[in-house]
Chains A and B, each alone.
Chain A
Amino acid sequence: MKRISFKTNFILTVIFVIGSGFMLLWASNSLGDYWARIITLMAIYGIMATSYTLVNGVTGIFSLGHAGFIAVGAYTAALLTLPIQQKAMSFFITPLIWPLNSIQMGFLPATIIAGCVAAFAAFLVGYPSLRVTGDYFAIATLAFAEIIRIVIQNSYSVTNGSLGLKGIPPYTTIWWAWGWLLVTLIVLGSFKFSSYGRALRAMSEDTVAARAMGIDVFKHQLMSFVVSGFFAGIGGALYAHWLTTIDPRPTSLGIMLTFFVLIMIVVGGLGSLSGAVLGAVFFAFSAQWLRIVESPMNFFGLTIPGIPGMSMLIFAVVFILIMLFWRRGIMGRDELSWQYIYNHFSKRVGDQD
């Protein structure tokens, strides 16, 4: 089996990124507003999924708190970019506290600050929670995510409580979303294949053995958790400026969102960054595409009325089939690299001979 050299790899990747850029340019110009929105959503889900798989897949600790960090990022960014006049209108029960009521900044700094605040939240949650492992850790993070949501729900003077925020400027375009996804992939990819990343993978295989090798398990887990929190915050910021309104309901920024992202990474393959992106793209695309089965159909004069909910049924069946036939998700733990494609391709040719 031939190894693809670094140079070929690099050139192919650059060509791929530029090619994808042109694809997106084409999509944003000719596919219409609706699909442009969905393609943007794919990248936002992609960021949420890759950052989640860093904790759940690569590090191998099962967290259920991802939506909490997404919510922190979404609220931070939204509060920073909301026009001052809009803030005065929305906070009609309790006015917004100083200094948030007089700040308005650009999208990029707001997104980065959102990431940092979410990372800090991840540190606060991770520091005590990482003392426990396994199911206990899952429960602890789930509880912390709920606490974050309930704090948001009750802090009327900061987050407008259950009334939520509205009128957030629609800054998130295809370019912002996919650009941030590219940044996320570069950073998380380098992280995964650095010595830290190898330590994380060693821990996910066997914590005791990794500790015996001299790896500081707690420190590495906390680091992965904080990095994941940062990109969850970025994802949340993009999401808020995509949807233009956020609220702390369990169905919008609560446990349901965590489960959606969990579905994406499990379908894509736990521990694979490219798998997480594939899972996210698949999730966002099929949720919309399957709407076809819900609209009334006409088979040669025979009209079948649309059944609402039919698409979710098919969605569930597709996921069960994927889990039956690809038990480790689409990508398993592999990355969709040029080497991976080359290996698959040469294997297939070999089989035919």
Chain B
Amino acid sequence: MKTFLLTLSVAAFAASGALADEIRVLNWQGYGTDQDFAVEPFEKATGHKVVHEYFNSEQEMLTKLRTNPGAYDVVLINSIYTQQAVSEGLIAPVDTSKIENFAGISEKFATDPQLTSDGEVYGVPWVWGLTSFAVNNNSVSEVPDSLEILWDPEYSGRVAIRDDAVEAMHFGALATGQDINDIKDVDAVKEKLSSLMPNLRTFWSSENDWNQYMAAGELDVATYWSGSAARSIAFGLPITFLVPKEGAIGWLDGLSVPATSEHKDAALQFIDWMIDPEFYTVWDAAGAPASANTAAAAALPDDAFNKTVLGNPDLADRIQFMAPVSDETRESYLEIWQGLKAAQ
């Protein structure tokens, strides 16, 4: 920690001639960047001040970037939306040579086609996670390796998925061995989901819902998010989060610098700190998603969820990262999903 912060402060002196900047970060509230252990050490080491602004939806984030030029220096953009931001000229390419920790980011993330454009990096891979499923250890004795457990008649009426049309279709695609971003055989997915419906007990809509149903013993098997699973396990719920052989749905959040930012060097310093192993180990202890920085993941204690479950090396091939979903697709999925639900 000390050595990193020392280099940071030296770099800060060299870069800005000891001028302290105020950088403005646009992110979800409570999502890593605005926590005390993120801001305070950074401010102390560099002299820069960090100010936060929040958004409640990706659309709001894009609108804020469009309407407030120059107001932000670092922005969190989910990889699905990065290309849209690039095409609208909202964000600038990142000079990765100024980010020391960029070397630790795995090749797969660093060259992710959604975060890069024309060979330039527009989003620094920050954290990622999975949508897969978890089982209740009290009632499922043998840990399954297949998604088919959701369809298993043994757990009939003890299964739940999230009430979300796109996510449901993605799970149907995984179960029928298709690309989630390019579902060729929609009818097969529809049929697969239709046979899942009688097995379901309910739909969950929030992490809190999920925890309550599991704690009350209402559910044996349910789809879940990796970050939430880590928190539920830390909270004491007897569950196991699994990545089945059919694969899982992945998402990736990147940090970008708006094209109109006036403090680009300070912004890059902050991004560098955000992917630093020193920072990540502290954040992970407080409940963080998986870091895109391999070095940061390696620095975790051996029993950490993000190391044991998501750090598994053969996992990478099974993850299908989500691509942008067009409005037409979203609506057609919703229509299918509503039809399936209405038939109950």
Are A and B associated in one complex? no
A interface residues (Cβ-Cβ under 8 A, vs B) = none
B interface residues (Cβ-Cβ under 8 A, vs A) = none
